[in-house]
């Protein structure tokens, strides 16, 4: 059997029993997925996924980075280079390479969700290996051609109550419009991710600004017109269900410049005269501006800071972004967030959700901040920490200071559609295991633990994100 019914529960029998009881009540709750990167085209077109390699391997940098780290070239895995030079084109050959390296994933969350998916969706009972690679390929390939494996059918099978995709302000949201036109009832909403028009170091920033003006009808060559363009576009996104914005900055720095200074800074970054410090300051100021707009329009604000993007220069030049070379950086929150919190930290109607790639900030900075400011909430363990040990540390390091109710449940944050049930299942299991430990060490009563398990699995995400 690929997956065990007691996986991730405590080993000690008394604690395992509590975990089982807690999990039993939350295992079948609908999925709220308030932050992720699924492609709205899937839900708009409802076309079959092409083949196992194209579904599982080629688009997933968690998978191919591990093979790359052990000497498999990206070309051998069918990753398209920017210059169009040919890599492996045979999906079955790619799949075999992946299968023959499956041992590399031992002990990783990738392994957990793959086994879950192979077992629950495709009925496999034997671990993937070089020996059974073809049998795996054939069965998955055949299944993908059936109606049950179309995106909308999976959406319903996964019991997704609501899912958010993430789009740039420059995106026309045509797929979201098509979903609405189609009459399909699945709740797929967008989220406003303005990095391309907020980060002066984003590729094509100046052209993006011009396009932003065309789309919104505002004069984005002026500071006030630029801000109005955001207001207009945020309203447009809300028409497609958006309840949140998301911001992926290298640091958590915020600023609160005077009107004149902000205008002068905007002039420099929009005309290309910006220094790196200008760029950083502009991103900082824009976080505060986005917060101001959230106070006005009620959109929940998310900050995902602290990644050094595209660290591998040669790979970036050959293959572009998202090649598995985004590396976390030490991240300060206490000084960085103060300008924004000084203005909006006490706002009763503002929700500002913080994520981190620097675990040292959980207990030192994030839990104390979230345990105090009414506007602040902690997002779940993110990215490299979205795994059983990482999730456990998140609870151990934040709960004693911030409690459970300054956190917001789980985000799967994934592009890997088929992994969504597995990821939520892991989160529910890890939280139940953590709660079972509190119960069996007599820090929490079991009736309360049931309530908390429900809140962490369902209610907190739904309420924090207004879904």
CA dihedral sign of residues 296, 301, 305, 311: negative
Which part of the chain contacts a copy of itself (CB under 8 A), choosing from 63-71, 147-155, 170-178, 289-297? Answer: 63-71
Q: Which is nearer to a copy of itself, 285 or 331 (CB)?
A: 331
Give one DSSP letter per residue of 28-87, joined into a string.
TSPEEE-S----HHHHHH-PPP--HIIIIITT-HHHHHHHHHTT--GGGGTPPPTT----
Beta bridge partners of 328: 307
Taking 3-state DSSP, the helix, strand and coil percentages for the chain, each rounded to the nearest 5, stand at: 55, 5, 40
| Contact between 38 and 415 (Cβ < 8 Å) | yes
Site for a copy of itself in 123-182 (CB under 8 A): 127
Query: Which of positions 7-36 make contact with a copy of itself (CB under 8 A)?
Result: 7-12, 14-15
Instruction: Name the minimum Å distance from CB 34 to a copy of itself.
Output: 20
CB of residue 398 to a copy of itself, shortest distance in Å: 9
Query: How many residues are recorded in the chain?
Result: 467
Question: According to CB under 8 A, which one of 25, 54, 100, 108 is a site residue for a copy of itself?
Answer: 108
With beta carbons less than 8 A apart as the criterion, state whether 420 and 426 touch: no
CB of 258 to a copy of itself, least distance (A): 17
Name which of 258 and 441 has its Cβ closer to a copy of itself.
441
Stretch that binds a copy of itself, among 44-52, 251-259, 265-273, 323-331 (CB under 8 A): 323-331
CB 70 within 8 Å of CB 97? no
Cβ contacts of residue 447 below 8 Å, gap of 6+?
Answer: none
Smallest distance, a copy of itself to C-beta of residue 160, A: 25
Binding to a copy of itself (CB under 8 A) within 357-416 occurs at 357-360, 363-365, 367-374, 376, 384-385, 387-390, 396-397, 399-406
In whole angstroms, the minimum distance from the beta carbon of 214 to a copy of itself comes to 38
Nearer residue to a copy of itself within complex by CB, 51 or 412:
412
Helices (H), 240-312: 259-271, 276-297
Instruction: Report d(CA 143, CA 139) in Å as an integer.
Output: 6
Nearer to a copy of itself by C-beta: 206 or 308? 308
66 scored as a contact of a copy of itself (CB under 8 A): yes
Number of C-beta neighbours around residue 23 at 10 A: 23
**Choice between 60 and 167, CB closer to a copy of itself:** 60
Phi, then psi, of 166 in degrees rounded to 5: -130, 125
**Sign of the torsion formed by the C-alpha atoms of 135, 157, 240 and 229:** negative
Contact mark string toward a copy of itself, 430..459, x via CB under 8 A: -------xx-xxxxxx--x--xx-------
- Mind giving me the DSSP string for 359-404? THHIIIIIHHHHTT-TTEEE----GGG-SHHHHHHHHHHHHHHH-S
Give 187 or 415: the residue with its C-beta nearer to a copy of itself. Answer: 415
In the complex, the smallest distance separating the C-beta of residue 364 from a copy of itself, rounded to whole angstroms, is 5
Smaller CB separation from a copy of itself, 117 or 437? 437
Q: Given the rule CB under 8 A, which of 89-97, 195-203, 295-303, 308-316 is the region that contacts a copy of itself?
A: 308-316
Instruction: Enumerate residues 252-271 that contact a copy of itself by CB under 8 A.
Output: none
Instruction: For Cα atoms 103, 104, 107, give the angle at the middle one, nearest 5 degrees.
Output: 90
| Part of the chain binding a copy of itself (CB under 8 A), chosen from 61-69, 172-180, 244-252, 415-423 | 61-69
Select 40 or 409, whichever has its Cβ closest to a copy of itself.
409
Here the contacts of 282-285 (C-beta below 8 Å, separation 24 or greater) are 282/198, 282/199, 282/200, 283/198, 283/199, 283/200, 283/249, 283/250, 283/253, 284/253, 284/254, 284/255, 284/336, 284/339, 285/254, 285/255, 285/256, 285/257
# residues near a copy of itself by CB under 8 A: 92
Q: Which two tokens stand for residue 154?
A: 């999976």
Residues 326-365 that bind a copy of itself (CB under 8 A): 326-330, 332, 334-335, 338, 341-342, 345-346, 348, 357-360, 363-365
Which of 105, 124, 155, 350 touches a copy of itself by CB under 8 A? 105
For residue 436, what are the contacts with CB-CB under 8 A and spacing of at least 6? 9, 10, 15, 16, 18, 19, 22, 449
199 touches a copy of itself (CB under 8 A) = no
The residue among 287 and 341 lying less far from a copy of itself, judged by its C-beta, is 341
Considering the complex, state which of residue 197 and residue 337 has its C-beta at the smaller distance from a copy of itself. 337
The pair of structure tokens assigned to 449 is 């633990």
Which residue's CB is nearer to a copy of itself, number 141 or number 358? Answer: 358
Single residue of 43, 68, 282, 465 touching a copy of itself by CB under 8 A? 68
Closest by CA to 67, choosing from 109, 30, 105, is: 105
The least distance separating a copy of itself from the CB of residue 125, rounded to whole angstroms, comes to: 12
Measured from the CB of residue 463, what is the shortest distance to a copy of itself in angstroms?
A: 12
């Amino acid at each position: 059997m690929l997956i065990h019914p007691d996986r991730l529960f405590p080993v000690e029998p008394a604690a395992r029993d509590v975990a089982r009881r807690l999990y039993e009540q939350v295992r079948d709750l609908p999925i709220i997925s308030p932050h992720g990167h699924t492609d709205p085209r899937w839900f708009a077109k409802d076309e079959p996924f092409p083949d196992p390699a194209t579904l599982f391997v080629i688009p997933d940098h968690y998978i191919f980075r591990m093979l790359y780290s052990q000497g498999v070239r990206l070309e051998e895995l069918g990753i398209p280079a920017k210059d169009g030079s040919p890599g492996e084109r045979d999906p079955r050959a790619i799949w075999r390479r992946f299968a023959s390296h499956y041992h590399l994933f031992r002990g990783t969350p990738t392994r957990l969700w793959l086994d879950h998916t192979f077992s629950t969706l495709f009925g496999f009972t034997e671990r993937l290996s070089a020996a059974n690679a073809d049998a795996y390929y054939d069965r998955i390939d055949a299944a993908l051609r059936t109606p049950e494996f179309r995106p909308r059918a999976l959406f319903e099978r996964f019991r997704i109550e609501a899912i958010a995709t993430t789009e740039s302000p420059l995106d026309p949201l045509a797929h979201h419009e098509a979903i609405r036109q189609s009459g399909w009832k699945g709740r797929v909403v967008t989220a406003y991710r303005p990095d391309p028009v907020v980060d002066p170091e984003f590729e094509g920033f100046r052209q993006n600004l011009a396009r932003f003006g065309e789309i919104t009808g505002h004069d984005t060559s002026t500071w006030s017109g630029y801000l109005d363009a955001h207001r207009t576009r945020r309203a447009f996104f809300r028409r497609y269900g958006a309840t949140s914005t998301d911001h992926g900055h290298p640091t958590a720095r915020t600023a609160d410049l005077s009107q004149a200074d902000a205008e002068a800074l905007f002039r420099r970054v929009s005309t290309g005269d910006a220094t790196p410090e200008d760029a950083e300051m502009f991103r900082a100021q824009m976080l505060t501006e986005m917060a101001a707009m959230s106070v006005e329009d009620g959109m929940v604000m998310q900050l995902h800071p602290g990644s050094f993007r595209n660290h591998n220069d040669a790979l970036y030049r050959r293959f572009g972004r998202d090649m598995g070379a985004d590396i976390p950086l030490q991240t300060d929150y206490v000084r960085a967030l103060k300008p924004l919190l000084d203005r909006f930290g006490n706002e009763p109607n503002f929700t500002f959700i913080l994520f981190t790639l620097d675990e040292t900030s959980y207990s030192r900075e994030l839990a104390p901040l979230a345990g105090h400011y009414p506007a602040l909430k902690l997002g779940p363990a993110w990215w490299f920490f979205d795994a059983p040990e990482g999730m456990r540390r998140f609870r151990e390091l934040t709960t004693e200071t911030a409690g459970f109710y300054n956190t917001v449940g789980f985000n799967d944050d994934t592009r890997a559609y088929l992994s969504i049930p597995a990821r939520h299942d892991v989160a529910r299991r890890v939280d139940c295991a953590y709660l079972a430990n509190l119960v069996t060490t007599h820090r929490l009563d079991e009736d309360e633990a049931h309530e908390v398990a429900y809140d962490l699995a369902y209610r907190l995400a739904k309420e924090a994100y207004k879904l």
